[in-house]
Amino acid sequence: MPTSSKFLSVCKQCKAFCCSAVLPILTEEEKNRILSEGVPGHFIKIDHGLYRIKEGSTGVCPYLTKEKSCSIQNLKPKLCKIWPIIPRYKNNIRETLLIHCPLYPFLSDDEIMQAKKEAEALPLDILRHLWDISLESKNKYKRFTYIEI
């Protein structure tokens, strides 16, 4: 779920699907930034310097509020900030996808290009893990179509 408040009504109507479909991967630096603000940690280590947010008791991200907004807006991982643009690493090729979730028609070309740039700058290890996770969660991903950008 993106940061800008202008998108929050679309995301609330969607019931924050992306915050339950695939819990994000984050770097050590992103994890430490969350902890340094006194926010409780909900992380699982998945690789050297890489973590994943641990599913809460309701099966969704523990940082999602009952009102379906993110409680760590300014601290959320890069993968959350750039959604519905996501990087993919398939057959040794880096790609960037635009997911056709209800928010995408509201994004400007500039916002899409900026998110694409940020997706392309993510470490390859994040992309590798993301691909493995997306294979595990492919039924959830099927909800939306997507295009390569």
CB of 72 vs ligand SF4, minimal distance in Å: 5
| Residue 87 found at the interface with ligand SF4 (CB under 6 A) | no
| Residue 78 found at the interface with ligand SF4 (CB under 6 A) | no
| Residue 122 found at the interface with ligand SF4 (CB under 6 A) | no
Structure tokens of 100?
């056709």
Tell me the CA end-to-end span of the chain in Å, nearest whole number. Answer: 19
Long-range contacts (CB closer than 8 Å, 24 or more residues apart) made by 102-108: 102/10, 102/11, 102/13, 102/14, 103/2, 103/7, 103/10, 103/11, 103/14, 106/6, 106/7, 106/10
| Residue 25 found at the interface with ligand SF4 (CB under 6 A) | no
| Residue 51 found at the interface with ligand SF4 (CB under 6 A) | no
Where on the chain is the footprint of ligand SF4 (CB under 6 A)? 1-2, 10-11, 14, 16-19, 24, 53, 61, 63-64, 70, 72, 76, 80, 83-84, 101-103
